[in-house]
Amino acid sequence: MHLIIGLGNPGSQYEITYHNIGFIIVDAICKCWNFQPFSKKADYLITSGMINENKTILLKPYSFMNNSGIPVAKIRNFYKLSLDNIIVIHDDADLELGRIKIKKGGSSAGHNGLKSIDSFIGNDYWRLRFGIGRPNDQRDLADYVLSKLSNLDNITPLVEKVAKNIHLMLQEDNTAFISSIVH
């Protein structure tokens, strides 16, 4: 069983923001692979289904970014999941907009959602880092990540490619996954 977590913040004011790219991608995976609609629990939204031969849980922590680790730990502990089978999808300001990287483990690089998860389950899980870039103006990074996505038309096809090809990541074929996104 795999757990794919999309990071974001609850509330309509955050729906289409840079910081919610994890929610946006997990929603696209849900739609692409015909999962049931998300069910609302106390501090998360959850659904499950099959991605090819892989039983998969999709999770959107609804505890705000800084507390993402609490619902992640609940689900990980309930299903007794290995960190090898956990993928966290999140925004990354250190990558240019639309650039995607995959890594396992490492530091949170200042990302509060990852810091929270690390504090509850450790840091040796997979990360799908979706580049959002940095502001071109004098805006504070915190204000930028909570602002509306300005290039949604350019990002949507990339999000759809991630959703369509996520099965490659579940099969641990990260090279094929990245290649499918770039082309």
**Which residues are known to be catalytic?**
19
97: phi then psi, degrees, rounded to nearest 5 = -55, 125
Neighbours of 142 (CB within 10 A): 10
Q: How far is CA 132 from CA 33, 54, 74, 76, 129, in A?
A: 25, 29, 29, 28, 9
Antiparallel, parallel or unpaired: β 44-51 and 54-61: antiparallel
The angle subtended at Cα 152 by Cα 146 and Cα 155, nearest 5°, is: 105
Q: How far apart are CA 168 and CA 161, in angstroms?
A: 11
